[in-house]
Amino acid sequence: MSLQQEIIRQLGVKPQIDVEEEIRRRVDFLKDYIVKAGVNGLLIAISGGLDSAVVAGLCKRATDELTKEQNKEYMTLGVFQPYGEQVDIADSYATAEAFDLKYKVETNIEDSVDEIALETEHALRAIGRSQHMSKEGKGNIKARTRMVVQYALAFELNLLVVGTDHASEAITGFFTKWGDGAVDITPLSSLNKRQVRELGRSLGVPKSILDKTPTAGLWPGQTDEGELGVSYEDNSDYLEGKEIGTDAKERLERAYLRTNHKRNEIPGI
């Protein structure tokens, strides 16, 4: 078995999908987990990008169906988490409107992130390292602070935190791992980016979001493809078992091997 075949097997990506079947399967997956966990619904952080919009659509469909079936209200809470001014915050609200989210909140993380960064710089000086945090380091604080707030809300409301991670991120290690705060459930995990977009079209994600350049918004100008060095077209082709250019293939496989520890359970002895 080639490394490409092993990666595809581990991540569970299909070479082609029936979109409506995949939507139904993932909605049922969410519903079943909500009932088994005994929670009141789902929390999804809506960034304004494609992945969180697709997950929001799946979550809302799942909780709407459960509300009808169980004669009890189940909540999908949409959380918007800008750092200061977010230039595309309108896309987050457009997603909430597209899926008629009754419950939505905005929690600005700027003050918290800046305080954590400042305390980290103080700690570095205490061991003789006088330096400002790197943009990557501060970007990670943003991601982790967002998870802290999500879990604070989820605890108070008895919700599950839903992740947006999918196979095109997992192959490169660019996903919400345990060290980032983790999530409770990931309904997109066996889809590649192209397939996520296909679900988005069917669910009714706004076109402006479907066509956006993917970014985690961790620092100004940051894009997923720029950071990873591989296009999502090549990434998706690879995960569907197709041949891609040698450079892109080697980049993906190096990233997969380098970040394999992130996809494993937390080790113990």
Q: Exposed/middle/buried for 243, CB within 10 Å: 0-12, 13-18, 19+? A: exposed
State yes or no: is 169 an active-site residue: yes
Length of the chain: 269
With H, G, I as helix, E, B as strand and everything else as coil, classify residue 269: coil
Tell me how far apart the alpha carbons of residues 159 and 75 are, in angstroms, rounded to a whole number: 8
User: Do 219 and 83 meet the contact criterion of CB atoms below 8 Å apart?
Assistant: no
State yes or no: is 51 an active-site residue: yes
Tell me how far apart the alpha carbons of residues 46 and 107 are, in angstroms, rounded to a whole number: 11
Q: Which two tokens stand for residue 50?
A: 């494609």
Q: Residue type at 80?
A: F
C-beta atoms surrounding 117 within 10 Å: 17
User: Do 44 and 79 meet the contact criterion of CB atoms below 8 Å apart?
Assistant: yes
**Angle CA 193–215–177, to nearest 5:** 75
Question: CA 15 from chain center: how many Å?
Answer: 22
* Residue in the structure block whose two tokens are 């705060």: 181
* Of 79, 73, 37, the residue nearest 55 (C-alpha): 79
Active-site residue among 22, 165, 169, 224?
A: 169
Active-site residue among 51, 91, 224, 234?
A: 51
Active site residues per annotation = 51, 169
